[in-house]
Amino acid sequence: MIILKDILYKVAIEVVKGSTEMAVNKIEFDSRKIEENDVFVAIRGTVSNGHDFIEKAINLGATVIVCDTLPDIIVTGITYVQVKDTNSALAFMASNYYDNPSSKIRLVGITGTNGKTTIASLLYQLFKKAGYKVGLLSTVKIMVDETEHKATHTTPDSLTINHYLNEMVAIGCEFCFMEVSSHGVHQKRTEGLQFEGGVFTNLSHDHLDYHPTFAEYRDVKKSFFDHLPKTAFALTNVDDKNGSVMLQNTNAKKLTYALKSYADYRAQILENQLSGLLLKINENEVWVRLIGTFNAYNLLAIYGTAVQLGLENLEVLRLLSELESVSGRFQFIVSNEKITAIVDYAHTPDALENVLKTINDIRTKNEQLITVVGCGGDRDKTKRPIMANIATQMSDKVIITSDNPRTENPATIIAEMEAGVEPQNFKKSLSIEDRKQAIKTACQLANTNDIILIAGKGHETYQEIHGVRYDFDDMKIVKEFLEQMNK
Ligand SMILES: CC(=O)N[C@H]1[C@@H](OP(=O)(O)OP(=O)(O)OC[C@H]2O[C@@H](n3ccc(=O)[nH]c3=O)[C@H](O)[C@@H]2O)O[C@H](CO)[C@@H](O)[C@@H]1O[C@H](C)C(=O)N[C@@H](C)C(=O)N[C@H](CCC(=O)O)C(=O)O
Ligand SMILES: Nc1ncnc2c1ncn2[C@@H]1O[C@H](COP(=O)(O)OP(=O)(O)OP(=O)(O)O)[C@@H](O)[C@H]1O
Ligand SMILES: N[C@H](CCC[C@H](N)C(=O)O)C(=O)O
Ligand SMILES: [Mg+2]
């Protein structure tokens, strides 16, 4: 039995009406999930306002209401807790409800525009290989050691985070690696968690639909580091111009990694091929099966984190050499006709440029590079022309197509992308709305030794059109077409 008073610990309370000594069942922030004796936390969202559902929650059995503004009608027998910020209250309450699991596991958060999933998933893999029980909260999946759960967000809501952290602790996980998105920080999903470390990857154009300016987006990321305690480490990429900004006001132990600048963890790329990278990390050479300069950064972040968490340097290098690429992150197949098809989650201008640069650095240029790319609907529109421009500048042929149009008209998204193609590149690009047809066309156009890049959806196994999700898997589809055409 849980007493309300106990889950309100550390919550900045302004007014309480009613008793806090009562027993409660569970916490919910969605009125539709309320059951007898639940606590309903009213959240102000982007679509609706949780405060409008207080009456509904009470009718369904809620006995405690946490809100930032008291409703006009106060119902007797109900306890009202008025707080300044309900998102923050929810985070502390979630943590208390699950008995503060983040204090019983060594938790590391990874933030930045690109690389979070790669770093978190590879750290999970590395610590598993080192023999530990490990947890993972990522865009692709949630792992409670070996048990997989579906992920709905990059950083889930605070109740979900604490629920899974609690499961991890219960089965003896020693470490947990989690992605920390800017939405997550802004909506205080990670507040009240005890992190042992924070990692910053890089900052570039994304989510400017949600954050009004780039400066705000940067400061939201920075606030994650501002809140780290003295006992934690903060590891940042100082080759990124915002890398040192992240650590300006942190109390944590400041650590750096870089390929080009002076840093605590440094690497040099000795070889960069389709079969992998040969790196020199702090004076030791290591072959890894991951590809491209951006992965050299990711691997350095992983190395630094693993060493900070107490693994021995040479052991970490050995484990790095065993890592395998993360699903949908530069995943590739080579067909019978020696056509290489690469599936990558690059859905931001920066990520797309990086992937194309990586391919262009490695290829011989005697072959064609054919890129299939689209942009998601109901997301940052400003990146559409930029991504089409990058794709056409850096490939021989581009097929502009749909990503997840969600509730938008796919043709409109494609037109907005096309607007970014420069006249000299018109001849290189065609638009095919149906993503399956677009992939098929790329396969038809490809000759021996050509490279097909399918960008934007990576590991996703669905396509969301007009709000409906259909089965869709870039890798499966390209494989099928190449086999069908006997290529
Ligand atoms: C823009 C955004 O972040 N939205 C999140 C937000 O939803 P919202 O603001 O639309 O909420 P709302 O529908 O307005 O509702 C407000 C409140 O009223 C409640 N409500 C609503 C209706 C009702 O009948 N009763 C009721 O109680 C809702 O439960 C909610 O608490 O709060 C919800 C609950 O936590 C999230 O599921 C939802 O994520 C949506 C699905 C989403 O797509 N988020 C993306 C943008 C996101 O967060 N992405 C980042 C990563 C992106 C990246 O790095 O690439 C992520 O961490 O995943
Ligand atoms: N360090 C990096 N720098 C730049 N680009 C990267 C880096 N790591 C990965 N990428 C590219 O960005 C894409 C997304 O990588 P990843 O999924 O690891 O990022 P993420 O930060 O988790 O993204 P999301 O915000 O969607 O959760 C990859 O498919 C790859 O093309
Ligand atoms: N976490 C990202 C995923 C984008 C993936 C892309 N395929 C799209 O649908 O836009 C977002 O919600 O912005
Ligand atoms: Mg991710």
- Residues 7/97, Cβ–Cβ less than 8 Å: yes
pTM of the model: 0.89
Three-point CA angle 295, 301, 306, nearest 5°: 125
Confidence of residue 38 (pLDDT cuts 50, 70, 90): very high
Nearest CA to ligand 3 atom 11: 379
Q: Indicate whether residue 404 lines ligand 3 (CB < 6 A).
A: yes
Among all ligands shown, which has an atom nearest to the Cα of 116? 2
340 annotated as ligand-binding? no
181 annotated as ligand-binding? yes
Of 454, 418, 458, which Cα lies nearest the Cα of 438?
A: 454
pLDDT(208) > 90: no
Nearest CA to ligand 3 atom 7: 457
Interval 96-118: pLDDT, tens? 999 999 999 999 999 999 999 99
pLDDT(262) > 90: yes
Mean pLDDT across 44-61: 96
Interval 370-427: pLDDT, tens? 999 999 999 999 999 999 999 999 999 999 999 999 999 999 999 999 999 999 999 9
Interval 422-481: pLDDT, tens? 999 999 999 999 999 999 999 999 999 999 999 999 999 999 999 999 999 999 999 999
- Residues 370/442, Cβ–Cβ less than 8 Å: yes
Burial of 445 (0-12, 13-18, 19+ CB in 10 A): middle
Among all ligands shown, which has an atom nearest to the Cα of 202? 2
- Better-predicted residue by pLDDT, 211 or 305: 305
Nearest CA to ligand 1 atom 29: 30
Q: What are phi and psi of 14, to 5 degrees?
A: -100, -50
Cα 19 to middle of ligand 2, angstroms: 48
> How confident is the model at residue 206, as a pLDDT?
64
- Residues 10/92, Cβ–Cβ less than 8 Å: yes
CB atoms within 10 A of CB 261: 14
> How confident is the model at residue 207, as a pLDDT?
65
Mean pLDDT across 226-232: 97
Q: Which two tokens stand for residue 212?
A: 């009004």
112 annotated as ligand-binding? yes
Q: Indicate whether residue 456 lines ligand 3 (CB < 6 A).
A: yes
Q: Indicate whether residue 298 lines ligand 2 (CB < 6 A).
A: yes
Nearest CA to ligand 1 atom 1: 46
> How confident is the model at residue 173, as a pLDDT?
98
Confidence of residue 205 (pLDDT cuts 50, 70, 90): low
337 annotated as ligand-binding? no
Cα 32 to middle of ligand 1, angstroms: 14
3-state secondary structure the chain: CEEHHHHCCCCCEEEEECCCCCEECCEECCHHHCCCCCEEECCECCCCEHHHHHHHHHHCCCCEEEECCCCCCCCCCCEEEEECCHHHHHHHHHHHHCCCHHHHCEEEEEECCCCHHHHHHHHHHHHHHCCCCEEEECCCEEEECCEEEECCCCCCCHHHHHHHHHHHHHCCCCEEEEECCHHHHHCCCCCCCCCCEEEECCCCCCCCCCCCCHHHHHHHHHHHHHCCCCCCEEEEECCCCCHHHHCCCCCCEEEEEECCCCCCEEEEEEEEECCEEEEEECCEEEEECCCCHHHHHHHHHHHHHHHHCCCCHHHHHHHHCCCCCCCCCCEEEECCCCCEEEEECCCCHHHHHHHHHHHHHHCCCCCCEEEEECCCCCCCCCHHHHHHHHHHHHCCEEEECCCCCECCCHHHHHHHHHCCCCHHHHHHEEECCCHHHHHHHHHHHCCCCCEEEEECCCCCCEEEECCEEEECCHHHHHHHHHHHCCC
Among all ligands shown, which has an atom nearest to the Cα of 460? 3
Confidence of residue 273 (pLDDT cuts 50, 70, 90): confident
Cα 346 to middle of ligand 3, angstroms: 9
What percentage of the chain has pLDDT greater than the value 70?
Answer: 99
Mean pLDDT across 339-343: 95
pLDDT(155) > 90: yes
Q: Indicate whether residue 344 lines ligand 2 (CB < 6 A).
A: yes
Lowest mean pLDDT among 7-11, 205-209, 231-235, 467-471: 205-209
Q: Which of 209, 379, 413 should be mutated for ligand 3, with most atoms under 8 A from CB?
A: 379
> How confident is the model at residue 211, as a pLDDT?
67
Q: Which position has the token pair 């699903």?
A: 327
Nearest CA to ligand 3 atom 1: 154
32 annotated as ligand-binding? no
Average pLDDT, the chain: 95
Q: Indicate whether residue 110 lines ligand 2 (CB < 6 A).
A: no
Q: Indicate whether residue 459 lines ligand 2 (CB < 6 A).
A: no
Confidence of residue 215 (pLDDT cuts 50, 70, 90): confident
What span, in angstroms and rounded, lies between the C-alpha atoms of 205 and 375? 14
Cα 139 to middle of ligand 4, angstroms: 4
Q: Indicate whether residue 374 lines ligand 2 (CB < 6 A).
A: no
Residues with beta carbon inside 6 Å of ligand 1?
29-32, 43, 45-48, 50, 53, 153-155, 157, 181, 183-184
> How confident is the model at residue 275, as a pLDDT?
79
pLDDT(22) > 90: yes
Q: Which two tokens stand for residue 280?
A: 């020199």
Ligand 2 atom closest to Cα of 121?
18
